[in-house]
Copies of this chain bind each other. A is one copy, B any other.
Amino acid sequence: MKKIGIIGPNIPNCSKGLYDFGVELGKEIAAPDRVIVCGGRGGFMEAVCRGVKQWPGTFDGQTIGILPEDSDENANPYVDIAIPTGIGLARNLIIINTADIIIAAGGGAGTLSEIAFAWQRYKKVLCIIAFGGSAADLAGRDLDARASGLLIPVTTIDEVKSFL
């Protein structure tokens, strides 16, 4: 079971363009041996889960939402298995620890924070979808000397798929 981590902005920091991209991405990357691990909330997280569940061969348990709250009432409706952590933003680290590969989108501080944390954990490949912002600026760079070549800038879904 390959675990694909999804990092990106919640409402209202997720543009319509990024949301639509996320739905398309979810549809394209869904597969019988893959689960999606995301923060379980709205915006880009919802978009990718939504896309996955539109895939014809979808199965129950394919989208996992690691939530900040201690209940699942704010999970987006496309999350199959909600995991309410109750540990707030610290739940982002669990997503990084869990994923085999990470797809990050959005240009804000939240995404940037998670990319930098992922770097510390030496994940093999971290695709950064170039939608602008300070997070996207990091794409293609090395954050420090401990690792190299992990942040791959991508602009199309086909590019993302080439890393899965």
Q: Quick check: B121 and A81 within 8 Å, CB to CB?
A: no
- Does residue A157 face the partner (Cβ distance < 8 Å to B)? no
* Number of copies of chain A assembled together: 4
CB neighbours of A144 from chain B (8 A): 13, 107-109, 133-134
CB neighbours of A88 from chain B (8 A): 70, 86-88, 93
Cα of A6 to Cα of B59 in the assembled complex, Å: 23
Known: A33-B60, A81-B64, A120-B113. A146 touches B108 (CB 8 A): yes
**Chain A residues with a Cβ closer than 8 Å to the other chain, count:** 47
Cα of A60 to Cα of B35 in the assembled complex, Å: 10
Which interface residue of A13, A62, A81 has the most chain B CB atoms within 10 A?
A81
Which interface residue of A62, A84, A87, A109 has the most chain B CB atoms within 10 A?
A109
- Does residue A141 face the partner (Cβ distance < 8 Å to B)? yes
| Interface residues in chain A, defined as those with a beta carbon under 8 Å from any beta carbon in chain B | 1, 3, 13, 33, 35, 59-62, 64, 66, 70-71, 80-90, 93-94, 97-98, 107-110, 112-114, 116-117, 119-121, 133-134, 138, 141, 143-144, 146
Known: A108-B146, A134-B144. 9 other contacts (CB 8 A): A59-B61, A64-B81, A86-B88, A86-B90, A87-B88, A107-B144, A109-B143, A113-B114, A113-B119
